């Protein structure tokens, strides 16, 4: 009998031996989902090469980078629900196959328009793939093993966003086989095909709940509302902010409001909504959604501006620009370790207030470092202190933010709530790319790249101040990490909620 025809043993009934190949499943989940997360940042250093190869302008670059996060975030909750209905193994394989195929399409894109379209498709495939990970692990691990799995799974996935620009820079500068930026996408092919073969053979089948109805109307409202928000932010600067851009953003707000109303009516009618309506009635949670969008919009946006400043303003190569992101990444890792291991449990919500203050201090240091730059002798070491300090502050927030927002929801709502938070995180990143890209390129047209970076830092400061104000409305204590995993995993086991909790 083929391994794939074997049903997964129940990890909680104590009557069966643990599945023989379960650790191989963990490896496949990590490889596939890192590949997914990596693509959110790996193209950040491809701007000059895309301009030379495909004639990509500033708007095209923003769409290539932010479009992926847009469709990823807009489809995440739907992807989790499809896994509930059709089985997580099936949706994982479909998502992985589609992600690998769309990576190939991105690599062979003949025009910038085609590349943008394929990136949107790639993000959609990622939305089908990413939500299945925790559920599949819960189906094949239990007890202390499951705790160890989460201890491995979360931090390793967090590396995806950190190493993206570094790996992208290495591949582009290496220009292997003359592929240039196309190698950034082609690297997914051998990894994706290998993971697909292993997953098809070794991940056991477990049927989904076919009685569960998928709320396609709600999913459509989310997609349209997200598109109406990001489209004018990307195009507005280029077109001079005409009336249609403001109408689109207003329509986006109406779309999200209609989604909340539609979810309540769907639940009241006895059907399954995409999002448990109860979470949207909790003020701390809805305020937390705004905090997630503000924080990650600022974080992803400033990461992009740093890369653009190094490549376009200081003429760094793709490889050097990728390495230029390391101080920020290392600082984020340090801040996350300090916050997660010491501060969050001891000082509670204050860690979310200290973090943005440290970020603001880093931005201030970076501002003065930029003021004193000598373009003729500039090196990355000139701005390491500011970027590293800003990274430490960001890491303090990243490590704790989800747990404080999830503390506002009931146990049976965690699965749905964590899915919404992750979706808002992705869409917030896409909005950040649009806003910060527009601000930077508007000033960079004059050739004053230092001033362009200064303007971006001012925008980040405004977002951090707004985020700091929001933190006072969050619960004073976070939900313990093991409780988050436990409840989310149990929810995934009965197929009743969307599952995922990826803070990075």
Query: How far is residue 64 from each of residues 55, 71, 294, 412, measured CA to CA in Å?
Result: 13, 12, 21, 37
Tell me, yes or no, whether 315 and 264 share the same domain. no
Which domain-ending residue is among 172, 204, 236? 204
Tell me, yes or no, whether 197 and 65 share the same domain. yes
Tell me, yes or no, whether 449 and 365 share the same domain. yes
- Helix or strand (DSSP H, E) at 400: helix 384-406
Tell me, yes or no, whether 196 and 258 share the same domain. no
Question: What confidence category does residue 2 fall into, taking pLDDT thresholds of 50, 70 and 90?
Answer: very low
CATH number of the structural domain spanning residue 424: 1.20.1250.20
Q: Whole-prediction pTM value?
A: 0.86
* Six-digit token string for 133: 């990970």
In a domain, 247, yes or no: yes
- Number of domain units in the chain: 3
Which domain-ending residue is among 271, 293, 316? 271
Burial class of residue 376 in the structure, from the number of CB atoms within 10 Å of its CB (0-12 exposed, 13-18 middle, 19+ buried): exposed
Tell me, yes or no, whether 176 and 224 share the same domain. no
Backbone φ and ψ for 205, nearest 5 degrees, come out as -80, 145
In a domain, 5, yes or no: no
Tell me, yes or no, whether 41 and 59 share the same domain. yes
Average pLDDT over every residue of 210-239: 90
**Closest listed residue to residue 141, CA positions, set 5, 30, 18:** 18
Tell me, yes or no, whether 254 and 310 share the same domain. no
DSSP string, 167-218: HHHHHHHHTGGG-GGGHHHHTHHHHHHHHHHHHHHHSPB----TTPPP-HHH
Helix axis angle for 143-174 and 326-338, nearest 10°, is: 170
pLDDT of residue 481: 59
In a domain, 232, yes or no: yes
Among the ranges given (135-144, 185-194, 328-337), the one the predictor scored with the smallest mean pLDDT:
135-144
In a domain, 3, yes or no: no
In a domain, 191, yes or no: yes
In a domain, 9, yes or no: no
Tell me, yes or no, whether 291 and 392 share the same domain. yes
Among the ranges given (140-154, 180-194, 205-219, 379-393), the one the predictor scored with the smallest mean pLDDT:
140-154
Tell me, yes or no, whether 136 and 223 share the same domain. no
Which domain-ending residue is among 204, 224, 243? 204
63, 434 contact by CB (below 8 A): no
In DSSP terms, 205 is beta-bridged to 7
pLDDT of residue 94: 95
Among the ranges given (102-111, 154-163, 402-411), the one the predictor scored with the smallest mean pLDDT:
154-163
Tell me, yes or no, whether 98 and 141 share the same domain. yes
In a domain, 151, yes or no: yes
pLDDT of residue 504: 38
Tell me, yes or no, whether 84 and 123 share the same domain. yes
Each residue's pLDDT tens digit, 45-58:
888 889 888 988 88
In a domain, 443, yes or no: yes
3-state SS, 349-382, equals CHHHHHHHHHHHHHHHHHHHHHHCCCCCCCCHHH
Residues contacting 501, CB < 8 A, separation 6+: 134, 402, 406, 418, 421, 422, 484, 485, 488
Domain that holds residue 257: 215-271
Tell me, yes or no, whether 500 and 419 share the same domain. yes
Does the structure show a pLDDT above 50 at 257? yes
Mean pLDDT of the chain: 85
**Closest listed residue to residue 490, CA positions, set 138, 90, 199, 95:** 138
């Amino acid at each position: 009998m083929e391994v794939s025809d074997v049903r997964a043993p129940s990890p909680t009934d104590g009557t069966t031996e643990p599945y023989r190949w379960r650790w191989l499943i963990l490896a496949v989940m990590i490889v596939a989902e890192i590949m997914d997360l990596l693509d959110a940042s790996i193209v950040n250093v491809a701007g000059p090469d895309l301009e030379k190869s495909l004639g990509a302008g500033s708007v095209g670059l923003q769409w290539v980078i932010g479009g992926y996060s847009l469709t990823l975030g807009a489809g995440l909750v739907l992807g989790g629900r499809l896994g509930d209905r059709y089985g997580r193994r099936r949706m994982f394989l479909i998502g992985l196959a589609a992600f690998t195929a769309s990576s190939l399409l991105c690599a062979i894109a003949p025009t910038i328009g085609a590349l943008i379209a394929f990136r949107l498709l790639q993000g959609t495939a990622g939305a089908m793939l990413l939500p299945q990970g925790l559920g599949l692990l819960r189906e094949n691990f239990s007890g202390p093993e499951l705790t160890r799995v989460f201890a491995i799974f979360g931090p390793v996935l967090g590396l995806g966003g950190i190493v993206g620009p570094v790996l992208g820079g290495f591949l582009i500068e290496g220009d292997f086989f003359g592929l240039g930026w196309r190698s950034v996408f082609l690297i997914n092919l051998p990894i994706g095909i290998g993971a697909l073969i292993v997953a098809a053979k070794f991940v056991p089948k477990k049927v989904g709940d076919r009685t569960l109805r998928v709320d396609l109307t709600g999913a459509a409202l989310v997609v349209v509302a997200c598109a109406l928000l990001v489209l004018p932010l990307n195009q507005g600067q280029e077109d001079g902010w005409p009336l249609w851009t403001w109408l689109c953003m207003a329509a986006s707000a109406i779309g999200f409001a209609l989604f909340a109303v539609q979810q309540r009516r769907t639940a009241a009618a006895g059907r399954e909504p995409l999002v448990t309506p109860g979470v949207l009635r909790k003020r701390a949670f809805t305020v937390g959604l705004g905090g997630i969008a503000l924080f990650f919009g600022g974080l992803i946006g400033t990461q992009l501006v740093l890369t653009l400043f190094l490549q376009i303003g200081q003429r760094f190569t793709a490889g050097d620009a990728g390495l230029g992101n390391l101080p920020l990444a290392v600082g984020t890792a340090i801040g996350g370790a300090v916050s997660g291991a010491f501060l969050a449990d001891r000082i509670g919500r204050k860690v979310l207030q200290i973090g943005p203050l440290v970020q603001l201090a880093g931005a201030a240091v970076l501002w003065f470092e930029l003021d004193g730059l000598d373009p003729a002798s500039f090196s990355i070491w000139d701005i390491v202190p500011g970027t590293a300090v800003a990274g430490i502050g960001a890491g303090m927030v990243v490590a704790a933010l989800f747990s404080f927002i999830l503390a506002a929801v009931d146990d049976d709502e965690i699965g749905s709530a964590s899915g919404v938070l992750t979706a808002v995180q992705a869409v917030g990143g896409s909005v950040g790319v649009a806003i910060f890209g527009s601000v930077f390129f508007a000033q960079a047209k004059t050739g004053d790249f230092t001033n362009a970076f200064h303007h971006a830092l001012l925008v980040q400061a405004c977002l951090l101040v707004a985020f700091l104000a929001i933190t006072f409305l969050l619960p004073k204590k976070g939900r313990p990490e093991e409780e988050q995993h436990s409840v989310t995993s149990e929810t995934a086991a009965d197929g009743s909620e969307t599952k995922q909790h990826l803070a990075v």
